[in-house]
Amino acid sequence: MAVRIALAGNPNSGKTTLFNALTGSNQFVGNWPGVTVEKKEGKWKGDKNVVIIDLPGIYSLSPYTLEEVVARNYLIGERPDVILNIVDGTNLERNLYLSTQLMELGIPVVMAVNMTDLLEKEGNQIHRDQLALKLGCEIVEISALKGTGVNEAAKKAVAAAEQKAAQSVHAFDKCVERVISSVEAKLDSEIPQEQKRFFAMKLLEKDQKIAELMNNAPDVSDEIQEMEEAFDDDTESIITNERYVYISNIIKDCITNNSKKKLTVSDKIDRIVTNRWLAFPIFAAVMFLVYYISVTTVGTWVTDWTNDVLFGELIPPAIEQGLLSIGCAEWLIGLILDGIVAGVGAVLGFVPQMLVLFIFLAFLEACGYMARVAFIMDRIFRRFGLSGKSFIPMLISSGCGVPGIMASRTIENDRDRKMTIMTTTFVPCGAKLPIIALIAGAFFDNAGWVSWSAYFVGIAAIIGSGILLKRTKLFAGEPAPFVMELPAYHMPTVGNVLRAMWERGWSFIRKAGTIILLSTIVLWFLMRFGWSAEGFGMVEELDQSILAKIGMCIAWVFAPLGWTQGGEGWKMAVAAVTGLIAKENVVATFGMLFGFAEVAEDGAEVWGRLSAVMTPAAAYGFLVFNLLCAPCFAAMGAMKREFNNVKWFLFAIGYQCGIAYLVSMFIYQFGTLATTGVFGVERSFFMGTFITAAVLIAAVGLAVRSMIRDKKKGKSLQCGDCGSCKGCH
Amino acid sequence: MPLSMAKIGEIFQIKKIGGREETRQFLETLGFVAGGNITVVSEINGSMIVNVKDSRVAIGRDLANKIVV
């Protein structure tokens, strides 16, 4: 029989590091059923019969966050054989709060005290035997980072699982204990003896979700009343307080506190890095450095090498020779070389640059700075209805939207997380940069402002969406208050940084191998097959192809955006549609549509042809459309997974495309007005200007209406919100 | 007084935590309990990094206003 060890602990306690140290590469990553909380399972390196389940990092077993509910449902429902509770030795008091709850579950607990080396460096000491005696469970000192003691911890856990004896549980105040026993007596035989205490306490805490789990939850209102009258407080606070009293009582005897330093090194760094005046300049400098290195210097070298050497001189000729030597049909060689290798190669060309960016971001996250960035940015983001925690997904999205969307998981508040998923891909990702280069080169003489403005448009779209969406019913209300534990600054290990980088990079590479591979094959067929004079078959002229027919059918939609003016609107339409599959496709599609077999990354060959069929205003609009509209298939897939709800997913996609269409139209219509004195011309004139005007009026109306509503309300908060009025005290 | 007015570096005792039930409970699990000590490590316009039970927690200004010391 396999032994199941559940790994539980606070966020930042080193849980993931311990999990990696115990399991190595024997990991399986999935989701907890029904929710988007990541579930990691692995086999212990020391014994393949031991399965380790990594529970989400939690502070308690209360019903307030998704992670806590997931963790406790697992612990109650699946009953692992043993809980390995990792606690941060430098922060024992707070970490033991969760431990006291874990010990009430009636499952054997083994405690791994992490970072004791740091503690000793500060001159403090934990008396392990004393602590083990008081808590009634096995205690192992470990350093997850260095890997010391981790296998001993796993061995002790396995031993505890085999003994099956759950530890005796701590006692609280007499009155509290009496009430708990009285509730325990009311529980029927459905609840096993060893779990009675947990259920009794949860009922006293008025935990609805636990009551729902029970078939017949007894009525405990008398007990609750008795306790609340005795302590003049609500039951939840009483029990919380009891836990801390208990913890501080045992901790007195178990820790020798010799540190005289009032300020730790980490605090000293925080004094500077999160200083009122220096926080922003330091943050700006760090970001500049990260992007300068990963985009301009190192990034360019590695990208050039992959594009020119790896996917230029090395791979394609080798494949061509290989195919020729086995006598492959010419059309198939065309498909493989022009379609698959060129398409997938173009995507993989971004990988090295992206990995460089992700190394930096992983380092900033692991060393603790990223959490401070969320704190610094919160003040600004709050004004637009977003949380500071939304900033990290956005930074990652500047590399690739897929890991960016996945990074939104760290945001606890559901509303904030949904908003982040919807808006984070407005940030230009690596794959959108060639489109920017194409438009800048073809229409604006390579002006630098084009790329700067692209980021500006992305940020403006996020801010605008924040303000706009908060005014809708879906996102109404204040953003959740900002609370975030900050890990102490520390030097991360190379392995952990590389692992984090690889996890994100891999989600991008996987997309190149699946969705983009498939789409390039489909595109190739759509482009090479069609109706000619001889009927359906392979066609020479592109405008006879299926793709051209599709483009011509939908081109009218984009008339108000000015794409059809030059009579070749279907090409823009086709490029935009391929962009929905993958933004990397856009430049290559233009290349093929204008008759070039292969184009440079910025599509320099087609600049002349492109500028002949679109005005600069329409072209800039085209760029903005591609920046803002629904991202590629891979990112859409990530959005669907993260929303875990089809309606939300469709709403988000519709919203993104709608915003892209409107903004693009504004740019074309007003751009044309500014340059020529009239709105967009010809057929599109009436329709375009009409819609523009209607949207303007609607937007102003909406804003005015909600402002009036706000004024009427007079910012009346619900009682209990302000913390300073009579009702709150 | 509200925590948002507290001086950096001084040790205060938490007297009361206001605000919504849910937020208050979350703060309690993080170690913010009445009677406990709290020190402000850093402050930007009312948003703060505080030391509670040896962990560093960043809180927004609205929360700092609801913690009475």
Was domain B3-68 assigned CATH 3.40.30.10?
Answer: no
Average pLDDT of the segment spanning A401-429:
89
**Chain-chain contact of A485 with B29 (C-beta, under 8 angstroms):** no
From the list B16, B42, B63, which residue is nearest A481 (CB)? B63
Using a CB-CB distance cutoff of 8 angstroms, which residues of chain A are in contact with residue B53?
91, 93-94
Tell me the per-residue pLDDT of A109-121, one tens digit each, with 9 for 90 and over.
999 999 888 888 8
Residue of B nearest to A266 (CA): B56
What are A54-105's pLDDT values in tens digits?
999 899 998 777 788 889 899 988 899 999 999 998 888 899 999 999 998 9
- Torsion angle defined by CA atoms of residues A678, A681, A683 and A685, in that order, rounded to the nearest 10 degrees: -30
Q: Using CA atoms, how far apart are residues B5 and A724, in angstroms rounded to an integer?
A: 14
Note whether B30 contacts A483, CB cutoff 8 Å: yes
Residue type, A460: A
List chain B residues with pLDDT less than 50. none
Q: What residue segments make up the domains of chain A, in order of their start? A: 3-163
The average pLDDT across A514-542 equals 79
Residues 6+ apart with CB under 8 A from A166: A106, A107, A108, A109, A194
Which of 6-65 (B) contact A at CB < 8 A?
A: 9, 16-23, 25-31, 33-36, 41-45, 47, 49, 51-63, 65
Determine the pLDDT at residue B53: 87
pLDDT value of position A664: 92
Q: Which residues of B touch A392 (CB under 8 A)?
A: none
pLDDT score for A727: 43
Q: Where are the beta strands (DSSP E) in A165-296?
A: 255-256
Per-residue pLDDT at A611 exceeds 90: no
Q: A363 or A524: whose pLDDT is higher? A: A363
Is the pLDDT at A701 greater than 80, yes or no? Answer: no
- Cα distance from A401 to chain B (closest Cα, Å)? 27
User: Cβ A481–B51 below 8 Å, yes or no?
Assistant: no
Among B2, B33, B41, the residue with its CB nearest the CB of A267 is: B41
pLDDT at res. A282: 95
B42: distance to nearest CA of chain A, Å?
Answer: 6
Inter-chain CB proximity A485 and B41 less than 8 Å: no
Average pLDDT rounded to a whole number, residues A623-636: 91
Looking at the predicted structure, is the pLDDT value of residue A490 above 90? no
The alpha-carbon gap from B59 to the nearest alpha carbon of chain A, in Å, equals 5
Contact of A5 with A84, CB cutoff 8 Å: yes
Domain ranges for chain B: 3-68
Report the pLDDT value the prediction gives residue A713, as an integer from 0 to 100: 55
Give mean pLDDT, residues A389-394.
Answer: 91
pLDDT at A728 over 60: no
Res. A634: pLDDT tops 90: no
User: Is the pLDDT assigned to residue A712 strictly greater than 70?
Assistant: no
Residue B5 DSSP code: G
Which chain B residue shows the shortest CA-CA distance from A388? B60
Q: Report the chain A residue with the minimal C-alpha distance to residue B52.
A: A94
**Smallest Cα distance from A79 to chain B, Å:** 24
Residue A718 has a pLDDT of 41
Using pLDDT thresholds of 50, 70 and 90, give the confidence band for residue A624: very high
Place of tokens 């991008």: A508
- Write down the pLDDT at residue B49: 94
- The DSSP line for A381-420 is HHHTT--GGGHHHHHHHTT-HHHHHHHGGG--SHHHHHHH
Compute the mean pLDDT over every residue in chain A, rounded to the nearest whole number.
84
CB contact under 8 A, A379 and B58: no
Query: Cβ separation of B56 and A270 shorter than 8 Å?
Result: yes
CB contacts, 8 Å: B61 with chain A: 379
Fold of A3-163: Rossmann fold (3.40.50)
Residue with the bigger pLDDT between A361 and A29: it is A361
Please indicate whether, in this complex, the C-beta atoms of B27 and A378 are within 8 angstroms of each other.
no
Give residue A335's identity as a one-letter amino acid code.
L
- Cβ contacts below 8 Å, chain A against chain B, sum to 135
Contact B27 A483 (CB under 8 A): yes
Q: Which of B47, B50, B57, B65 to mutate to test the interface with A (most CBs of A within 10 A)?
A: B47
Neighbours of A45 (CB within 10 A): 17
The answer to whether the beta carbons of residues A505 and A358 sit under 8 Å apart is yes
**Tokens 């139209």 belong to which residue?**
A665
Produce one character per residue of A677-697: b if its CB has 16 or more CB atoms within 10 Å, e if not: eebbeeebbeebbebbeeeee
Chain B residue closest in CA terms to A488? B56
Highest mean pLDDT out of A17-21, A121-125, A296-300: A17-21
pLDDT in tens, A320-351: 888 888 888 888 887 787 777 777 776 777 78
Positive/negative CA dihedral, A392, A395, A399, A404:
positive
Query: What's the pLDDT band for A717 if we cut at 50, 70, 90?
Result: very low
**A98: chain B residues, CB-CB within 8 Å:** 29
How many Cβ atoms from other residues are within 10 Å of residue A44's Cβ?
A: 22
Low-confidence winner among A180-194, A299-313, A390-404 (lowest mean pLDDT): A299-313
A714 — pLDDT class (breaks 50, 70, 90) = very low
Contact B23 A483 (CB under 8 A): yes
> What would the pLDDT profile of A232-264 be if each residue is shown by its tens digit?
888 888 899 899 999 988 888 888 776 655 678
Q: A145 vs A717, which has greater pLDDT?
A: A145
Among candidates A457, A472, A470, which has minimal Cα distance to A628?
A457
Q: Under an 8 A CB cutoff, do B44 and A379 touch?
A: yes
Q: What is the pLDDT of residue A252?
A: 83
The whole-number pLDDT of residue A44 equals 93
Task: For chain A, give the percent of residues with pLDDT over 70.
Answer: 91
Identify the pLDDT of residue A505: 86
Distance from CA of B31 to the nearest CA of A (A): 6
B28 to A237: CB separation less than 8 angstroms, yes or no: yes
pLDDT tens, residue by residue, A564-608: 877 778 888 888 888 888 887 788 788 777 877 667 777 788 888
The H or E element that residue B6 is part of is none
Provide the strand spans (E) within A467-526.
Answer: 483-486
